[in-house]
Amino acid sequence: VTPRGVVLDLDGTIYRGNDPLPGAREAVGRLRERDVQLLFLSNNPTETPSAYAERLAEMGIEADPGEIASAGSITTEYLVREHPEDPILLIGAPGLRSQFEAAGLSLIDEWREAAVLVASYDREFDYERLTEALWTLDTGATFVGTDPDLTVPHPSGRPVPGSGAIIGAIARVAGRDPGVICGKPSAEARTVVDRRFGASLEECLIVGDRLDTDIALGARCGMETALVLTGVTERAALAGAELTPDHVLESISDLDDVLGGPSTTD
Ligand SMILES: [Mg+2]
């Protein structure tokens, strides 16, 4: 049965770095032919949905910014809803800072004034920032993380530390975990999926390369799940894993195998 909606992870599923994965463009094109609703959902906090739309367009994949969400956009929405006026200290990348600024959030530099600490991927993260984060949380500030990814892919082929590494360092030294981590597989990410696909999530499919984020979100939402082996997860890792995807695909090119039946427009 053709699903009503498909959630597609980006890095490791559609592209790697700046290069589309072989067959990804065609696979998205076939989903379009089937007339399923799409949601491109990334745990990268650093870019806006519009920037992702541009990047996808460069790869020959047309997507409306309204079909795209990221840990950055989900965190921004969360803060706009829950902390619209609160002074926020951000440990994060310039690309996340600009999303907060565009949304009118109250970013501050002085840790003593912070009511909220947001922790995320930050290449400038150092001992001084860790100290400020500790002191901020010691004042009782709310602790928010953008996404749980401990590592992220790097063009070298080796993983590099992601938001989860920085959130974890702060959580460890401060002795408490964030109240919310906004990206996949959080309840906040589910809110975005709910809004896009409505109440019929059991008729939807999620495709991604990570068990602990993509497949975990699918399990949380009651969606059918498909793991692709073009990203961080090796087939050997599946044997001992807590989460079992419904389908394991060599790549997104094989998606038709799990969709069943010809496209509705054939
Ligand atoms: Mg991925």
Per-residue pLDDT of the chain (266 residues; tens, 9 = 90+): 688 899 999 999 999 888 899 999 999 999 999 989 999 999 999 999 999 999 999 999 999 999 999 999 999 999 999 999 999 999 999 999 999 999 999 999 999 999 999 999 999 999 999 999 999 999 999 999 999 999 988 878 788 999 999 999 999 999 999 999 999 999 999 999 999 998 788 899 999 999 999 999 999 999 999 999 999 899 999 998 999 999 999 999 999 999 875 554 44
The pLDDT assigned to 196 comes to: 92
Residues catalogued as catalytic:
9, 11
The rounded distance, in Å, linking the Cα atoms of 32 and 264 is 10
CA of 98 to the centre of ligand 1 (A): 23
What's the predicted TM-score (pTM) here?
Answer: 0.93
CA of 140 to the centre of ligand 1 (A): 33
CA of 106 to the centre of ligand 1 (A): 30
